[in-house]
Chains A and B, each alone.
Chain A
Amino acid sequence: MTTIRVTVDGSTYEDEVEPRMLLVHYLREQLGKVGTVIGCDTSNCGACTVHVDGRSVKSCNMLAVQADGHEVTTIEGLATDGQLHPMQTAFHENHALQCGYCTPGMIMQACDVLRENPNPTEEQIRVGLEGNLCRCTGYQNIVKAVQQAAGALAGQQGGEQA
């Protein structure tokens, strides 16, 4: 067992974990952060995507011990001060989810797509989400949601600058 110290959604946790434990299992089973889900065992589906130090990571593709000393944000920590993140709002307004199982990972990845490129084309959005599978929506409304969020985030930044 190894001791790790990880900040998750603003709280800091110290735990003993098996060296083989995946980050996603640590989040779900040890911390009860069950908003992050598991969809496959080959890193293909992206349902478990979280942010580690602000960048998207498939949490099934990282060991819990590798998160030692790092800051993790899950879907449960994305809304701040009771306000949904613009990406969450955009997913709701554009009907970008049906069963909702891929949604946590999809939203976290979509945030990362805009972090890297705040004003992407449809093609760039589609390529940016390539590592996240959705079986319900056909992706069309997800793409629309990311486009709307890009506009909203640009508006926010413009507002801050003004």
Chain B
Amino acid sequence: MTVADETTAQAEIGRPRRRKEDARLITGRTKWTDNLQLAGMLHIACVRSPFAHATITAIDVEEAKQAPNVVAVLTGQDVKDIQGSLPNAWPIVADQKAPPHPAIAVDRVAFAGEVVAVVIARTPRAARDAAELVDVDYDELPAVLDLKKAAADEVIAHPDLGTNISAHFELHSHEIGTGGNVEDAIRDAEVVFEREYRQQRLIPAFMEPRSVVVDPTGEQFVMWSSTQVPHILRLMLALTLGVPESKLRIIAPDVGGGFGGKLQVTPEEVITFLAARHTGRPVKWTETRSESLLAAHHGRDQWQRLTLAAKKDGTMLGLKVELLADMGAYLGLVTSGVPILGANMFNAIYKIPSYTFICDNVFTNKTWTDAYRGAGRPEATFAIERLVSDFAAHIGMDPMEVRKKNWIAHEEFPYATVSGLEYDSGNYEAATARAEEMFGYAALREEQRRRREAGEKVLLGIGISTFTEACGLAPSRALGEANYGAGGWEHASIRMLPTGKIEVVTGSSAHGQGHETAWSQLVADKLGVPFEDVEVLHGDTQIAPRGMDTYGSRSLVVGGSAVLKAAQKVIEKAKPLAAHLLEANVDDIEFDKGQFTVKGTDTGVGIGDLALATFAAHNLPDMMEPSLDAEATFDPINLSFPHGTHLALVEVDTETGKVALTKYVAVDDIGNAVNPLIAEGQVHGGLVQGISQALWEEAVYDDEGTLVTGSFVDYTLPTAADTISFETDRTVTPATTNEMGAKGVGEAGTIASTPAIVNAVVDAVRHLGIDDIRMPLTPERVWKAIQSAGQEQQAATPATQQPHFGDAPNQDTPETDAAVSGAEVGGPDSMSPDTTPGDGAER
């Protein structure tokens, strides 16, 4: 077989290849962690605290131990000297405060759902039955649940810390030399516009519940875990438990979604390890969905206060951001860093001369928060895109015009932002023009006006989100300066098999992203081999020994670059061999489409033949090692900055508060797409998660600190019937910081869509005097907002202008989650009780 026969005619990069992964997933031949059955395997059930904050005064495990088929019961007292403290890898300031984070609580619990005892039994059912027999005595302690009350330190989540403030972080453009002093801008501005927004708490809600299996038999402990980060997990377990890293092998088999929710080192991973070591037998823990919602980390949960200094003509002069971020009860792997990932993103696509970002990370007695799709950037994007639209309404400009007036023009790239980033490429004009064309912006504005003037009950709203974000944490040096616990690199190796087949080993750890397909496309093009001949291996520290795993939209841009770099090394390694076999000078060897040829001749040899030649090693150049295999580590020089313009059309039924999304246009610039089919799939899924934050999802606690939304009955994920088909397109400005010209895409849809939806709903009812409604925009909240705005309007305007509000409502006066123009109705939640956020003050 010659390589010339294998050469693919069509370029793989840019081709919408159907995925290799699908074959096993559509037939049920899957390797989810919970599928594993090992000889002698035991099962864990966790006993969890029902109290948000309490002292554990006694635990009686005797009855549970005597129950049939129970092998052991472990409490915090049993493991307190060996369980270590779960890691936080991002101390954002030198004096960050954090309590010890035990896998099993020892003498105090700090949120409802914390593990207090573990039953290990022959079957999952025996474990669960016996867990009911564990008798725990608690003395309840005062719990702090509300973020603003926590920030005021009225009740302390961890009394030993003396405060709920974990860290105070500030970034000022005048201090880092990227802009002026925002206080000067605010003092001198014609318009100072303030808003306060709420990022509600969300739950990642990956579809595969977490599961862990640990096998302690053999030289290494082998852990299978439904994790996004097998490599980070291995290192962190070694550091946490004092087990040599070389004694740990972590396998992430098929992993059913993550969205940041499986970017963690969990108590249950430590517990399963300890249980396996304790019993000397393989042990499995698989969570129930209720456990997952209760105890897997949550996301978002911020109060955001923004102050914009501007001219009356819409020109932005300064932006000040003040955040309160809810850590929950503990710091997980990157809990503390999540709000800081937004520190550079509130200025977004806009040229703002001065900028300040201030954040307080605050403990409460709730499940801890950590990364959830976008992690810090959705929060930032939501706030700035809401602010710009509200500001436009305030000064009487079209919201798109304000954006156009302030955004970075395409000829200004590369652009150094006021928050200290350098955007390498982008074209906001092009994406916006395409989106407006697809959407029919002008015609819909006209229809919106017509419905209002006709007094129709179902009104139209148009929402805009012109977002950008930052993907693939980099460069490593900057991460070091930011105190992040790891680098931003990724590793890959390529094995050239004697039959011409190729194994690509990647440190990325896919859980739905289609790396096996996309990496095959990269290597097929780079080495000129058939797509089918490339096998991608990942997710096992024994097979892929080095890696930084998959999160933050980093895998293609960073991990894909590592694969290409390794492939280039293969080519360089093969050239002397080709020259040797072709009896030519190595400088005359050219490589194209899998074939090494002598410049100016048609003599050549295929890369597969060279792989076979190194296997045989019968005829190699002197001193050449008999291998074409290569490995590479790619450390990016910058982040990548996808952007796009998203336009949403909603219908708001003013009589019921029901919001119906009727049209959604998403034009994204993700640079060059390696696989447009996969990229579009990422956009679709991302959009629904962002839309769902706007309309449906919220993790709700009651006054006692019990999670009310503790099952899928109450934590309402969208269904097929709740969603619509989106209209998507792409504009392209290639990234300049990687060979592919690619930008991240995994989080873009989620980041962009939330503000687009809320802007649309507010746009539909703004003329009624409503300028904010808190997410999720349930019919109840929208209805209440309209009702209270109606009452305000009734006093201010003749009833005939609002006939459907003309009669006094037959309901009780509603409480409202809406901010009504001129008066924030947020009640005791308001960030500072003595100020009134809402309208800007003109000067």
* Chain A interface residues (CB < 8 Å from chain B): 18, 28-29, 32-42, 44-45, 47, 74-76, 78-79, 84, 88, 91-93, 95, 97-104, 107, 122, 125-127, 129-143
Contact = CB atoms under 8 A, between A and B. Distances in A.
22 contacts: A28-B35, A34-B35, A37-B32, A42-B289, A42-B711, A44-B713, A78-B27, A84-B26, A84-B27, A88-B26, A93-B18, A98-B685, A99-B256, A99-B257, A100-B512, A104-B28, A133-B717, A135-B685, A135-B689, A136-B681, A138-B688, A138-B689
| Interface SS of chain A | loop
A80 B206 CA distance: 31
A94 B718 CA distance: 21
A130 B18 contact: no
Contact of B512 (A99, A104, A130): A99
B719 to A, nearest CB: 5
A125 B289 CA distance: 26
B347 to A, nearest CB: 29
B255 A99 contact: yes
Interface residues of B, number: 55
B314 to A, nearest CB: 34
B687 A101 contact: no
A21 B682 CA distance: 38
A129 B34 CA distance: 25
B200 interface: no
B711 A100 contact: no
B21 interface: yes
Contacts, number: 172
Contacts of B255: 99
Given A18-B125, A95-B678, A126-B719, 16 more contacts: A32-B37, A40-B711, A45-B712, A75-B26, A76-B27, A92-B18, A92-B23, A98-B257, A98-B514, A99-B208, A103-B25, A129-B720, A134-B720, A138-B688, A138-B723, A139-B688
Nearest to B717: A133
Contacts of A134: 207, 720
A32 B125 CA distance: 17
Given A41-B290, A127-B721, A129-B720, A36 B685 contact: no
Contacts of A45: 207, 289, 712
Interface in B179-207: 205-207
A98 B35 contact: no
B514 A140 contact: no
Contacts of B717: 133, 135
A124 to B, nearest CB: 10
B671 interface: no
Nearest to A44: B712
B18 A98 contact: no
A13 to B, nearest CB: 17
B257 A88 contact: no
Given A37-B32, A40-B289, A92-B18, A135 B205 contact: yes
Given A44-B712, A76-B27, A79-B27, A39 B207 contact: yes
Contacts of A28: 35
B797 interface: no
Given A101-B257, A136-B207, A129 B27 contact: no
B447 interface: no
B259 A140 contact: no
A162 B18 CA distance: 32
A66 B39 CA distance: 30
Interface string B1-35: 00000000000000000110111011111101011
A135 B692 CA distance: 11
B677 interface: yes
B19 A143 contact: no
B208 A101 contact: yes
A133 B207 contact: yes
B209 interface: yes
B685 A136 contact: yes
A137 B681 contact: yes
Nearest to A35: B28
Contacts of B514: 98
Most chain B CB within 10 A, of A32, A41, A143, is at: A41
Interface in B661-718: 677-678, 680-682, 684-689, 711-713, 717
Contacts of B681: 95, 98, 136-137, 141
A99 B513 CA distance: 7
Contacts of A142: 720
B22 A91 contact: yes
B104 to A, nearest CB: 23
Contact of B721 (A98, A101, A129): A129
Contact of A92 (B26, B35, B254, B511): B26
Contacts of A29: 37
A139 B721 CA distance: 9
Contacts of B22: 91-92, 97, 100
Contacts of A140: 684, 723, 725-726
> What are the 6 A-B residue pairs with the smallest beta carbon separation, nearest first?
A35-B28, A101-B256, A100-B25, A99-B512, A138-B684, A44-B712
B712 A133 contact: yes
The listed residue with most B CB atoms (<10 A of its CB), out of A103, A122, A131, is: A103
Nearest to A124: B721
A123 to B, nearest CB: 8
A100 B725 contact: no
Nearest to B291: A41
Interface string B496-515: 00000000000000011110
B288 interface: yes
Given A99-B255, A143-B725, A126 B713 contact: no
Nearest to B257: A99
Contacts of A138: 684-689, 723, 726, 749
A100 B151 CA distance: 41
Contact of A100 (B209, B256, B682, B720): B256
B288 to A, nearest CB: 5
B42 to A, nearest CB: 14
Contacts of B684: 137-141
A106 B220 CA distance: 38
A117 B663 CA distance: 27
A136 B512 contact: yes
A79 to B, nearest CB: 6
Nearest to B510: A99
A125 B720 contact: yes
A98 B513 contact: yes
Contact of A76 (B28, B125, B677, B725): B28
A110 B717 CA distance: 19
Contacts of A88: 26-27
B720 A126 contact: yes
Most buried by B among A29, A34, A76, A122: A34
Nearest to B286: A38
B208 A39 contact: yes
Contacts of B256: 37, 99-101
Nearest to B713: A42
Nearest to A146: B720
A78 B513 CA distance: 25
B721 A95 contact: no
Contacts of A38: 34, 209
A97 B26 contact: yes
Contact of B19 (A33, A92, A132): A92
Nearest to B517: A95
Nearest to B288: A41
A6 B23 CA distance: 28
B685 A35 contact: no
A91 B289 CA distance: 26
